[in-house]
């Protein structure tokens, strides 16, 4: 096996901190500067940039308007919250609200879970519902 795979040497991966860009992260100019800096650093490569939800929404608009060759990616936490909110919207009249109210009494917590909020309680409630079915 060693002889067969002798030429399969892998390149080492470099993980490093990028320079800090001073500015309000919610400002369109700061987001645009960040996107341009990413394009400069990764000249001929596809650039994938990860944002949280509020900044991702603005970055998508900037990328579309400026026609930048960048793929905006939503961070894992906000992606999961968005998914849970979509699930709550799709299952709105299915009795899911009432089921969650059995787990967490009170309508505000259950409504917040179905909106994609209360992340920790939403995960717990969905896991409980899956394990009971």
Q: Higher-confidence residue: 99 or 8? A: 99
d(CA 85, CA 96): 13
Report whether pLDDT(131) > 80.
no
Count the neighbouring beta carbons within 10 Å of the beta carbon of residue 30. Answer: 16
Query: Cα separation of 52 and 130, whole Å?
Result: 28
Indicate yes or no: pTM above 0.75: no
What pLDDT digit, counting tens, does each position of 55-109 carry?
999 999 999 999 999 999 988 888 888 888 898 889 888 988 888 888 888 778 8
Element (H, E) at 107: helix 107-114
pLDDT digits (tens, 9 = 90+) for 43-59: 877 788 888 888 999 99
CB 51 within 8 A of CB 59: yes
- Give the model's pLDDT for residue 57: 92
85 within 8 A of 61, measured Cβ to Cβ: no
């Amino acid at each position: 096996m060693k002889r067969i795979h002798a030429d399969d040497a892998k390149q080492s991966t470099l993980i490093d901190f990028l320079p800090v860009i001073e500015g309000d992260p919610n400002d369109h100019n700061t987001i645009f500067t960040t996107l341009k800096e990413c394009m400069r650093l990764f000249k001929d490569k596809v650039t994938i940039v990860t944002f949280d939800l509020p900044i991702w929404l603005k970055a998508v608009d900037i990328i579309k308007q400026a026609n930048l060759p960048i793929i905006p990616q939503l961070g894992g936490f906000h992606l999961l919250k968005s998914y849970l909110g979509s699930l709550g919207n799709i299952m709105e009249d299915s009795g899911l609200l009432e089921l969650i109210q059995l787990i967490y009494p009170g309508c505000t917590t259950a409504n917040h879970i179905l909106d994609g909020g209360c992340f920790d309680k939403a995960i717990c409630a969905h896991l409980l519902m899956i394990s009971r079915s």
